[in-house]
């Protein structure tokens, strides 16, 4: 009986290590004078279009077009709290259900631990809109990404076609303290 309990405890302890969130790389950490005001879970697609490679017109590549994702309050993706898209100026934008928006400009990126996932990012919050949760945002982090990466191979047959790659990520929104 004791052996079975000890074995069970060892299994539980080893599984707990897998459930932990990956460490955020130093290159995309926010400064100490910031505080987390919202942790959102995104589920959606990264949209790509097949184009000729500008460096070698005999080749084709999948070029990023836009993100389309819903933002949720928890990892179970039940309580919708906003959406993520490109604004008319082609800046990544997050819109809260309270009507407030924040756009971002990329400061840094780090490779995802998952080689099939889009990179982790640190963005500077720019052009807040409306009054609400996103009004005071100064930094946005994208972490714990899964999926969303374009295929490495494109060809002439796909020229002009859109490709939607499903992805999930966590977005952390920070204000000044």
Q: Which residue has the tokens 């100026």?
A: 89
What pLDDT, in 10s, does the model give residues 50-101?
999 999 999 999 999 999 999 999 999 999 999 999 999 999 999 999 999 9
For residues 124-152, average pLDDT: 98
Residue the block writes with tokens 């020229």 = 159
Asked if residue 34 has pLDDT above 80, the reply is yes
Range of weakest confidence among 11-15, 19-23, 62-66, 101-105? 11-15
pLDDT at 21: 62
In the predicted structure, residue 145 carries a pLDDT above the cut 70: yes
Contacts of 36 (CB under 8 A, 6+ apart): 172, 173, 174
- Residue 143, CB half-sphere, CA atoms under 13 Å: how many? 18
Cα→Cα distances 19→29, 98, 153, Å = 21, 32, 33
The pTM assigned to this predicted structure is: 0.86
Tell me the C-alpha distance between 10 and 16, whole Å.
Answer: 10
Average pLDDT over residues 20-34: 90
């Amino acid at each position: 009986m004791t052996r079975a309990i000890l074995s069970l405890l060892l299994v539980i302890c080893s599984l707990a290590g897998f459930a932990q969130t990956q460490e955020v790389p130093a290159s995309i950490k926010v400064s100490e004078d910031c505080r987390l005001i919202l942790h959102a879970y995104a589920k959606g697609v990264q949209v790509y279009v097949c184009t000729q490679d500008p460096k070698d017109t005999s080749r084709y590549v999948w070029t990023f077009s836009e993100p389309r994702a819903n933002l949720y309050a928890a990892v179970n993706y039940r309580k919708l709290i906003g959406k993520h898209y490109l604004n008319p100026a082609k800046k990544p934008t997050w819109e809260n259900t309270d009507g407030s928006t924040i756009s971002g400009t990329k400061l840094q990126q780090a490779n995802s631990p998952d080689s099939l996932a889009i990179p982790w990012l640190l963005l500077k919050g720019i052009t807040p809109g409306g009054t609400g949760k996103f009004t005071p945002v100064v930094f946005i982090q994208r972490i714990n990404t899964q999926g969303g990466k374009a295929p490495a191979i494109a060809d002439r047959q796909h020229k002009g076609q859109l490709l939607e790659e499903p992805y999930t990520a966590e977005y952390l929104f920070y204000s000044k303290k």
